[in-house]
Amino acid sequence: MLIEEILEKDHLEKDDIIKLLKIEDAGHKKQLFDKAYQIKEKYIGKLVSLRGLVEFSNKCRKNCNYCGIRNANNHVFRYSIPKKEVLSAVQFAWKNRFGSVVLQSGEQTGKRFIENIDSLVREIKQQTNNEIGITLSCGEQTFETYGRWFESGAHRYLLRIEASNSDLYHKIHPPDKNHDFEARIKALENLKSCGYQVGTGVMIGLPFQTLDNLADDLLFFRDFDIDMVGMGPFIEHHDTPLYSLSEKLLPQSERFFLSLKMIAILRIMMKDINIAAATALQAIDPFGREKALKAGANIIMPNITPLKYRKAYQLYQNKPCLDESAEMCSDCLTKRVGLMGESIHFGHWGDSPHFANKTSQKSIENQ
């Protein structure tokens, strides 16, 4: 089947997805990206929503084989940003009309950690007059904890599955009870049950990963009826077990374009979800995030973590924006997004239209 015929289909099958992932011809890539952008323009608009990212702690109980802040990495300066500094960063986002923030950390489950997040979310809501949206990305928690944070004011949650194939998942995680594939799936189900807009994502270009795996990842997003996705190229870190396989990986340029194809295909498959332009794209290409916007992404997450902590939160090597202040990062992104013919949706939470649409449908069905 011709690429043109696949792109005109209303419903993509797995074979269609794999054919699109195999595209190498520049003209066919343009067709794919243009189709995705047309769909984004129709269902989302030429709008980009900002999420001010605060990486408030790099302490983590997990030992994922790919992650630079894994618990066993003793070369990392561990920190937890005092609440006052986190609130100051959020104030910056609020005053600059970002609309939303993401509070991200390593995975912790202690009582003190849970209570601190609860208190922090409540204070953010109070100090911003409930005008700023809150996404949490704090790993696997109990149903009760997710519910508590939701009631406090968080309404979106990002928990990346990293690989939707259980065999691949176990190859990139240690074989212990802290790294359980079924527990990850259960956490995503719990988040949905609590009422969150649920986000997940995968790494692209992992060791052992196939195009068949990536196609299944996209089908997983659709079958789970996800509201938002953050995915990008796998970039190795020298202080991790997977670094030993660096020479066997796809070249970074191939991982980059494979990521753009994943974004474009997902936009075609799930027309009204939120898709982030991952910062990791910019680690490979200086205009990586902008190129993702033209391939169907609609979310950018400028880093507003206080500068003195940023170098200690490197999940992968060559992470960009480590030396740029929040002001510099914000100004730069505004200009660059404008050059792409897009507008930043200032002062809005930027919620997933997909979530709103299915919530409205459920309401109609229940009447």
Helices 143-152 and 181-194 sit at what angle, rounded to 10 degrees?
A: 40
Residue 202 backbone phi and psi in degrees, to 5: -135, 165
For the chain, the average pLDDT equals 94
Amino acid at 43: Y
Q: Rounded distance, CA 108 to CA 56, Å?
A: 12
Amino acid at 21: L
Q: How many other C-beta atoms lie within 10 A of the C-beta of residue 363? A: 9
Using the Cα atoms of residue 55, residue 59, residue 61 and residue 67 in order, give the sign of their dihedral. Answer: positive
Predicted local distance difference test score (pLDDT) of residue 364: 59
Which whole number is the average pLDDT over 30-53? 96
Predicted local distance difference test score (pLDDT) of residue 227: 98
- For residue range 110-141, list pLDDT tens digits in order: 999 999 999 999 999 999 999 999 999 999 99
Q: Give the CA distances from residue 171 to residues 8, 63, 116, in Å, rounded to whole numbers and listed in that order.
A: 36, 13, 33
Which tokens belong to 235?
Answer: 């970039």
Q: Rounded distance, CA 226 to CA 68, Å?
A: 27
Which whole number is the average pLDDT over 8-19? 95
DSSP 32-62: HHHHHHHHHHHHT-SEEEE-EEEEEE---S-
- For residue range 197-209, list pLDDT tens digits in order: 999 999 999 999 9
pTM as predicted = 0.96
Provide the strand spans (E) within 80-196: 100-105, 133-137, 156-158
- How sure is the predictor about 362, in pLDDT bands with cuts at 50, 70 and 90? low
